[in-house]
Amino acid sequence: MSAGTISPQSEAPLHSALLEVCGIAKSFARVEVLKNISLQIAPGEFLTLLGESGCGKTTLLRLIAGFEQPTCGEIWMSNERLDMLPPYKRRVNTVFQNYALFPHLNVRENVAYGLRVKSTPKTEIGARVEEALRMVKMISFADARPATLSGGQQQRIALARALINRPRLLLLDEPLSALDANLRKQMQSELKALQREIGIAFLFVTHDQDEAMALSDRIALLRNGALEQIDSPRKIYSRPATAYTAEFIGQTNLLRGEIKNGVVRCGALEWKTSEAHGAALFSLRPEAIRIATAVLQLPDAVCFRGVIRVQIYSGASELLEIAYGENQILRARIPATGPLTGEHEFVFSAADAVPVTDSRAASGSRAV
C-alpha cells in the first residue's frame, strides 16, 4: 500500500469522536461475522457502512444499538462505555429496515412512544410530536394507522419516531431498500437535507454503492466481516486501497505489472513510478482513458494504440472496450462522440493508475 501517492485532499482528523468502536468482534455459533473492527464517528457525521449482503454491516449496527452483544471489543460514546448498557439506556435510536411501526398505534402514538415510555409531561409530548411530524411533512397523517400508509410515508414516520428522543447518533438499517427507484432517489436527498438540518450523526447501512456515494461524509467498506477501507466518497473512489474496493465502488481496469528501476511495465503499457521494485497491481478508472488529440495535454501521459472492440452508448457517455498489445482489454468511458471503429490512439495520466493491494492475496484493513 502506498501512503506516498495519496492525494492532498485528505480530511481533517477526528478530534473528538462521538462514537468509538474498538476492536469489535462477533461470532454466531463459531462463525465469525465481524473481525476486529475499529472505527470512529464524529459528531454530525454521515457515515455509511457499505458492503455485500452477509458482510456484517447490519450486525455492527445491531451491536451499537444493543440488540447483540460483542464477542470481544468495546464501544464507547463520549467517555461512556456503551456495550454494557441495555438498548433502552443508550442514546442512539434506530430506523429499522421494514420500519417496525407499532400496528396497534396510530401515527401520533407511534411517534410519541419514545417520550411516553420515559414519562415526559403530556404538554411537552404533544408539542414535540407535532414538531417531529412537521419535520417529516406528515402532520396531516397524525391519526392514520401505519397499515394505511405507503412505504415512503411509513419511512418518514419511522424517522420521526426515531428522532423524537433527540439521539446523539441515528442508526439506519437499509431504510430505503424497500422503496421503488424514484421514491428512493427523492428520499435520499430528503434524508441528506434532514441530516444537515438537525446535525445528528447518522450511521447508515446499505449495500448500494451509489446511495453510499451520494449521501455519506465517509464510507466504511466492509468485506467478510473486516473493514476494507474507510474514507470520504471522493477518496475511496479516486484512491482505492485495494483491488476489492476499486471493483466494488464504481468500475475499474485492474492492471497487473512489474516495477523495475522506477518504471512500471504492464504488457504494452509503460510509465514512471516511485513505487518499490516487484509485482504490482494498478486500478485505472475507465473515465481516465481518453482518445488522444492534439489539444489534449495530460501530465505524465501514457499513450497506447488500440482497436475498439465494443461500443456501448449510454446517453451522456459511451463505454469502449479497447484491445491493445497482445490481446489485452481496457475499458474506457468517454463523452458521447458518435460511432467509432478501428484503431485509435489513447492516452491516460500515470497519476490515475492507482496502486492497489491484491485482494486475493490479503483482505488487508486500513482503518483511518
Partner 1 sequence: MYSRAYKALISAPPLLWVGLFLLFPYALMFAHSFFLVRDGSLVHHWNLQNYRALFTNPLYLQVFLRTTRIAASVTLASLLLGYPLAYYLSFHAGPRKQILYQLVIVPLWVSYLVRGYAWKTILGSDGVLNGFLQYLHLTDEPVSFFLYSPFAVVLMLTHIYTPFVFLPVYAALEHIPRPLVEASQDLGANRRVTFLRVILPLSIPGLLAGATFAFVLSLGDFLAPLLVGGPSATMIANIVQSLFGAAYDWPLGAAISVCILLITVSLLFTTERLEKRWSFK
Which residues of this protein are in contact with partner 1, per CB under 8 A?
Answer: 65-67, 86-88, 92-94, 96-98, 100-104, 113-114, 117-118, 145, 147, 161-162, 165
Least distance CB 106 / partner 1 (angstroms): 11
Least distance CB 67 / partner 1 (angstroms): 5
Q: Do 355 and 264 form a contact (C-beta atoms < 8 A)?
A: no
- CA dist., res. 91 & res. 131, Å (int): 20
- Residue in this structure with the C-alpha cell 473481525, named with its chain if needed: 35
Least distance CB 261 / partner 1 (angstroms): 59
Least distance CB 92 / partner 1 (angstroms): 8
Percent helix, strand, coil in the chain, to 5, is: 25, 35, 40
Least distance CB 222 / partner 1 (angstroms): 22
Mark out the alpha helices in the chain (DSSP H runs). Answer: 57-65, 107-116, 122-135, 151-163, 181-198, 209-215, 233-238, 243-248
According to DSSP, the residues that pair with 259 across neighbouring strands are 264, 278
- CA dist., res. 246 & res. 221, Å (int): 11
First-to-last CA distance in the chain?
A: 14
- CA dist., res. 335 & res. 318, Å (int): 6
Least distance CB 107 / partner 1 (angstroms): 14
Report CA-CA distances (Å) from 308 to 148, 213, 254, 358: 54, 31, 19, 28
Whichever of 115 and 330 has its CB closer to partner 1, that residue is 115
Whichever of 25 and 65 has its CB closer to partner 1, that residue is 65
Q: Do 242 and 273 form a contact (C-beta atoms < 8 A)?
A: no
The helix/strand/coil state of 21 is strand
Whichever of 21 and 162 has its CB closer to partner 1, that residue is 162
Least distance CB 230 / partner 1 (angstroms): 25
Whichever of 133 and 288 has its CB closer to partner 1, that residue is 133
Least distance CB 134 / partner 1 (angstroms): 20
Least distance CB 130 / partner 1 (angstroms): 18
Whichever of 101 and 308 has its CB closer to partner 1, that residue is 101
Whichever of 94 and 253 has its CB closer to partner 1, that residue is 94
Dihedral over Cα of 72, 226, 363, 275: its sign:
negative
> Which grid coordinates belong to 317?
457517455
Whichever of 161 and 184 has its CB closer to partner 1, that residue is 161
Sequence-separated contacts (24+) of 79-84 with Cβ below 8 Å: 82/19
Whichever of 169 and 266 has its CB closer to partner 1, that residue is 169
Whichever of 175 and 286 has its CB closer to partner 1, that residue is 175
Least distance CB 73 / partner 1 (angstroms): 21
Q: In what order do the strands lie in the sheet with 263-266?
A: 269-272, 263-266, 253-260, 278-284, 353-356
Whichever of 88 and 181 has its CB closer to partner 1, that residue is 88
Report CA-CA distances (Å) from 305 to 183, 265, 270, 324, 342: 45, 16, 13, 6, 10
